[in-house]
Amino acid sequence: MQGQQTDVGTAPEDLSSPARHRRTFGAIAGAVFQRRHYVAAANAFARIAEPVDFLKRYISNGGSYPANIGVKTPLGQIDLTTYTPDDIQTINEIFLRGDYDVASDGAVVVDFGSNIGISTAFFLTRRPDAFVYCHEPLPRNIERLKANLAQFAGRFDLCETAVGTQNGPVRFGWEPTGRYGGVGRDTGQWIEVPCRDSNEILADIIARHGRIDTLKIDIETMEGVVTERITPELAASIGSVVVEYPFQSNPLAATHVMEKRNFCTMFRRR
């Protein structure tokens, strides 16, 4: 079905509430048998300022929003504003479940698909000298990211573009949560956004710092192709790569060891 191009900043209010991407009852029931959920629940009591409220939101896919969530980090407590239950899921996956934990926390981080800033906040709180290069094209996400990362002023650089295989405008499918849209993804709602070539971005940052310690890729529909096109020369200067994509074989085998972690794939430089 052909989608319509819409200004995401003026989306009808009723689009923000449907649970089109919420976990089903079956998925919730199945979680009882999965160890990672017990680990995350235990971590909630250690790392969330109000763990009972957080877990209620997570389990029920409910609660009123916006909601401020206090998260305890190695650098002290931070506050993150969440706008939907999907943002609660993101905090759970990153801060509690450990999807983005890497062997050594890096000072130079590249975040492809920064959403509302939760992933960037995670990397910035691993060590005080961390600096993150964020990339996010969706206007509503950008506004929320800036608010969430205001507490880290001077420690991140935001590029308001999509990441892909080319430079120039691309068609971006979006949906109300801001979490599941992507370049070319048919969500029924479209906007045109600028895009930057992923390898050019990596080359520019490596030229500036001599390395990238951690690269995270979560760009719906494009994770696989962007990872696979990283050249061996670029990969040799990247410490860890974490990708929200279930690779069956290692596209970075010349330089990195691959391991699967929950719904991510982790690559660690040999």
Q: Are 159 and 205 in contact (CB under 8 A)?
A: no
Coil/strand/helix, residue 213: strand
Looking at residue 99, its amino acid is D
Total count of residues recorded for the chain: 270
Please give the pLDDT value at position 24: 54
**Nearest residue to 257 via CA among 233, 240, 232, 244:** 240
Please give the pLDDT value at position 1: 35
Domains in the chain, CATH or no CATH each: 23-97 (no CATH), 103-270 (3.40.50.150)
Beta bridge partners of 195: 162, 168
Q: What's the average pLDDT block by block, 10 residues per block, for the chain (270 residues)?
A: 36 35 50 65 96 95 96 98 96 95 88 98 97 96 97 98 96 86 84 96 98 96 96 98 95 97 91
DSSP strand pairing (168-173 vs 189-197) = antiparallel
**Nearest residue to 3 via CA among 172, 247, 179:** 172
Please give the pLDDT value at position 103: 73
Token pair listed for 110: 């590249």
The DSSP annotation for 105-150 comes to: --SEEEEE--TTSHHHHHHHTS-TT-EEEEE---HHHHHHHHHHTG
